[in-house]
Structure 1
Amino acid sequence: MDINLPEVLAEVTAAFEQYEQALTENDIPVLDSLFWQSDRTIRYGATENLYGYSAIAAFRSNRSPLDLQRTLMNTVITTYGRDFATTNTEFRRTQSGKVGRQSQTWVRTSEGWRVVSAHVSWLT
C-alpha cells in the first residue's frame, strides 16, 4: 500500500483546510458538503453522538457560532492508497482557551473527498 502519495496527500490536505476554514467561519453549506451524505456517516462530538448525515446537518444548523476560532496543533494527515485518509489534530479555542482533539476518516467518493467518520473531544 502506498502511504502519503504526494498528489493524494495534497488533495486531502486541501479538503482538510477547506473544512477548517468553513468550521471557523461557520460556513454550514461547505461543512455539510464535506460530509458523506449517508446514513452510515457518524460524528461523535464533544457533547453529542450523531448517526447519519441528516443528524450531523441538523446539529450544524443549530450549533452556536460563538468561540469557533481555534489554533491547530500536532496535525497529522495520512493517506492510504488513493482513496482513504485520516486526519488528526489537537486544537485550542482562541476565546475560551479550551483544548480538544479531532479525528476524521476521509474517503474519496464520486463527489470528491468526504468525511465518513469524525470524533471531537475536549481535553480541558
Structure 2
Amino acid sequence: MKIDDPAVVSEVREALARYEKALMEDDIAAMDDLFRQAPQTVRYGVGEVLYGYDEIAAFRRGRGGSPQRKLGRVEIATYGDSFATANVEFFREGTDRRGRQSQSWVKFPDGWKVVSAHVSIEGSGS
C-alpha cells in the first residue's frame, strides 16, 4: 500500500477545498454531495451528534449556514488510493479559539466522500 501518494493527496485536497467553499457559501447541495449518502455516515459537531446521511442533511437545512472561518493547519494523509484522513484547524470570525475538524474520506465510483466527521472548538468541552 502506498501512503501519501502525491496524486491521491492532491485529489483529497481538491475535495476538501470544495467542501470548505460549499461550507462558507452555505451551498447545501454541494455539501450533501460530498458526504456519503448512507446510514453509516456519521458527523459529530460542536453541539450535535448526527447518525446517517439523512440526519446530517436535515441538520444542514435547519441551521442557517455555518459561522465564517479561516483555516489554519491542514494535514491530509492517504492510505492506498481510496482512503484518506483530513485534519484541519480553523478559526471562526470574532474569536481566537481554535476549532478542529477531522474527516475520513473514501473514494467511491462517484468520487471522494466523507464517511465520518468530527468538529470541536478548543476549550468548549465539546
TM-score range, shorter chain: over 0.9
Q: Report deviation, 1:42.
A: 0.2
5+ residue gaps, structure 2, are none
Give, in whole Å, the separation in 2 of the partners of 1:22 and 1:95. Answer: 21
- The aligned runs of 1:53-68 (5 Å cut-off) are 53-65=53-65, 68=67
2:38 is matched with 38
1:105 is matched with 104
- The aligned runs of 1:77-92 (5 Å cut-off) are 77-92=76-91
Give, in whole Å, the separation in 2 of the partners of 1:46 and 1:94. Answer: 16
Percentage identity across paired residues of the two chains: 51
Q: Report deviation, 1:97.
A: 4.3
Q: Which moved more, 1:111-120 or 1:2-11?
A: 2-11
- 3-state SS, counterpart of residue 39 of structure 1: coil
Alpha carbons 1:69, 1:95 under 8 Å: kept: no
Give, in whole Å, the separation in 1 of the partners of 2:8 and 2:59. Answer: 30
For 1:93-116, what per-residue CA distance to the aligned partner results, in whole angstroms no more than 9, with x for missing partners?
A: 123444310000000011100000
**What is the aligned residue count?**
123
The residue type paired with residue 103 of structure 2 is Q
**Scaled by the length of structure 2, what TM-score is found?**
0.92
Alpha carbons 1:107, 1:113 under 8 Å: kept: yes
**Scaled by the length of structure 1, what TM-score is found?**
0.94
2:19 is matched with 19
The residue type paired with residue 82 of structure 2 is D
Q: Report deviation, 1:76.
A: 0.2
